[in-house]
Each structure stands twice: as C-alpha cells, then as structure tokens.
Amino acid sequence: MGWHYFGVLVAGFGAILHIGFAYTETLGWNREFVGTAAPSWIESLDEDLSLAGMLGTFFAIWLLAAAAAALHTQVYLAAKWQGGLGLVLLWAAW
C-alpha cells in the first residue's frame, strides 16, 4: 500500500513540472527559450526559415497522429476535431 502512495506522489510531482513547462512554453516560446530547451533546433535553422512555421508543422502532424489514434479507438468526435484542427494548422503553417 505504501508504494501506491509513493507512485501517486511521483506522478503528482511530474504533473506539476509538466504544467510549469507548458505554461513557460505557451507564454514564453521564443528563440531564447528554444535555444535553452532544444538547442539542436536552432543550430540547423537558416535566418530565412520561420521558427513558427516549423513548430506549426510539428503541432499539425502531432494533431493528425492524435486524430488517427482517436479514429483507431473509435472516438469519432475527437478524431474529427483533432484532424480538422491539424489540417487547418498544417495549411496555415505552409
């Protein structure tokens, strides 16, 4: 029984860290933050390549993959919304 509480504590701590990172990522997503969080993304960029377009493409593909997973699990409303949003975001990023 004690290990269960330890697992809940670790999961709660991980959730708090995830919320903190998501908050920082949402409000402070700029070149400096990306250089700190994922420096390899910055190293290969040309000055002409838009970081926002690259991230938009990434999120669009992620949403399309989530839509495929929702379709596979027969959650059709989620598949429709995630797929639609993924297509719109992919169109906007290109």
What lies within 8 Å, CB to CB, of 87 at 6+ separation is 60, 64
pLDDT at 93: 76
pLDDT one-digit tens code per residue, 28-56: 777 777 788 778 777 766 555 566 677 88
pTM of the shown model: 0.50
3-state SS string for 66-94: HHHHHHHCCCHHHHHHHHHHHHHHHHHHC
What is the radius of gyration, based on Cα positions, of the chain? 17
Is residue 25 predicted with pLDDT exceeding 80? no
